[in-house]
Structure 1
Amino acid sequence: MDRFKGKTAVITGGTTGIGLATAKLFINEGARVIVTGRTPATIKSAQAELGDNAIVVRSDATSFPDMDALAAKVKETFGKLDVLFVNAGYGQFIPFESVTEEVYDEMLNLNAKGPYFITQKLVPLMPEGSSVVFTTSMANVKAVGPLSAYGAAKAALRSITRSLASELYPRGIRVNAVSPGPIEATDILQKVGMPKEASDQVYVQMAQAVPMKRLGRPEELARAVAFLAIDATYTTGIELPVDGGWSQL
């Protein structure tokens, strides 16, 4: 239960789904955690669920002032940062012909630009032996219907993972990515305006497309993140698929 005792972590997009499951795992193993989110209701519920070893703050993953405020909060609260899990992000199911410049910019800002710069803001607080984990997506290596802008952004993030792994390792900081397939218990499709009945049908179709014939569980992603962040001390620059074999088979 104290495997991560003394460790500090920041998890962006941590009030639901994969981020929340990862925060729970880290806290259960003894770490202190700062979690970010944007929605007041999920911020409140996550704080209640995570308890006193977590601080849940409102922070927009695309806002530079919010990034600066988060870095100041981490410095004030922890003094140093051992793990940065950059998880905030989502995709919009929009056919290529209907993608607007606004949608394209939103996908790139949230899924590539934001992760790049929040890492830049927090790296000065990260000592030798610390690590960064990004959430990419199997959509960056396998075409998934009307997710072209999202897939492009996640492919950019995969490239960022390699580049920062090379650039930061002289400081003793490892950088890796976890690549989820479709995950249950997330409401990401409803967040972008898809009705629940339609989103449920999408998840049924995705589960059938996965070689393992099921959706992943947030806890399965959390264990992969913990491995990359803490245990994989001889690993940097990789993207670890956790997608039921969808991107591989």
Structure 2
Amino acid sequence: MSRKLEGKIALVTGGSAGIGLATARRFASEGARVFITGRRQTALDKAVAEIGHGAVAIQADAGKLADLDRVYAEIRAKAGRLDVLFANAGFYELGTFGEITEEHFDKTFDTNVRGTLFTVQKALPLLVNGASVILTGSIASLKGFPSFSVYNATKAAIRSFARSWIVDLKPRSIRVNVLSPGHTQTPGLDGLLDEETKAALAANTPAGRLGTGDDLAKAALFLASDDSAFISGIELFVDGGVAQV
């Protein structure tokens, strides 16, 4: 059986943990040559060992344009092109309305919105015609969560980017889609919520459980591969149905 990304070059930002790591691992197992980015070298080293298949890690902060330039210079030198870009790097923290600080706003928007925009824009010279671009959204793009208004707004912006960019990129047939997780078991969620809260979220999800990194990775593979060749501009919710109820 042929692998779905055989011979493809893929970049996964925020690929050292959680959804990014699970996706990088699946891309590699399906034949892609995978590059990942992350901010912590120790986590990147561990991730590369786990991904295998010759994966390459580049330490970088997706919110810093100079870091992005360095990432793409290395990919150009080592691979010459990109077939798949998964702009997954993101940041979230609580910020209660009435107490939101300028620092909280800037950090969240710089990583999630500014970082995503320039991650994709700076990739354009490397992206082949017909490439697949995947943006990490969230059910927060359409649901309200307390103390998450800034984060929620960034994910609504991500959703809007995809609609506009498929028009901008029409001459190159580059597809852009949004992959929106629901409540997903990741190290980030562990740092934010206690076990009781996570159990309550699972109980309120029609599928009856939290998502896993691999749930998202399977959907990302679909969007990256030719299986979704006629799909562009959508927001694909991988959330156990929670955004629909």
- 1:98-140 superposed Cα distances (whole Å, 9 cap, x missing partner): 2111101111111111000110111111111211000000011
Matched residue type, 1:9: A
CA contact 1:90–1:188 (8 Å) conserved in 2 = no
Correspondence for 1:243: 239
SS of 1:177 mapped into structure 2: strand
Correspondence for 1:224: 219
Correspondence for 1:234: 230
Correspondence for 2:133: 132
Deviation at 1:150, TM superposition (A): 0.2
Correspondence for 1:188: 188
Task: Give the structure-1-normalised TM-score.
Answer: 0.93
- 1:144-167 superposed Cα distances (whole Å, 9 cap, x missing partner): 121100000110111011111111
In the TM superposition, 1:1-249 aligns within 5 A as 2-184=3-185, 186-189=186-189, 194=192, 198-230=193-225, 231-249=227-245
Q: 2 CA distance for matches of 1:17 and 1:199?
A: 17
Q: 2 CA distance for matches of 1:25 and 1:143?
A: 31
Matched residue type, 1:89: G
SS of 2:7 mapped into structure 1: coil
Uncovered stretches (5+) of structure 2, i.e. residues with no partner: none
Q: 1 CA distance for matches of 2:200 and 2:112?
A: 24
Q: 2 CA distance for matches of 1:105 and 1:118?
A: 17
SS of 2:219 mapped into structure 1: helix
SS of 1:96 mapped into structure 2: coil
Deviation at 1:52, TM superposition (A): 4.3
Q: 1 CA distance for matches of 2:69 and 2:204?
A: 41
Indicate the percent of aligned positions where both proteins have the same amino acid: 42
Deviation at 1:206, TM superposition (A): 1.8
Segments ≥4 residues shifted beyond 6 Å: none
CA contact 2:28–2:52 (8 Å) conserved in 1 = no
> How large is the Cα RMSD of the aligned pairs?
1.4
Deviation at 1:67, TM superposition (A): 0.5
Task: Give the structure-2-normalised TM-score.
Answer: 0.95
CA contact 2:28–2:53 (8 Å) conserved in 1 = no
SS of 2:98 mapped into structure 1: helix
Matched residue type, 1:232: S
Deviation at 1:212, TM superposition (A): 1.7
- 1:184-234 superposed Cα distances (whole Å, 9 cap, x missing partner): 1x111455xx4xxx5333322221222222100111101111111212100
Deviation at 1:93, TM superposition (A): 1.9
CA contact 1:179–1:242 (8 Å) conserved in 2 = yes
SS of 1:247 mapped into structure 2: helix
SS of 2:85 mapped into structure 1: strand
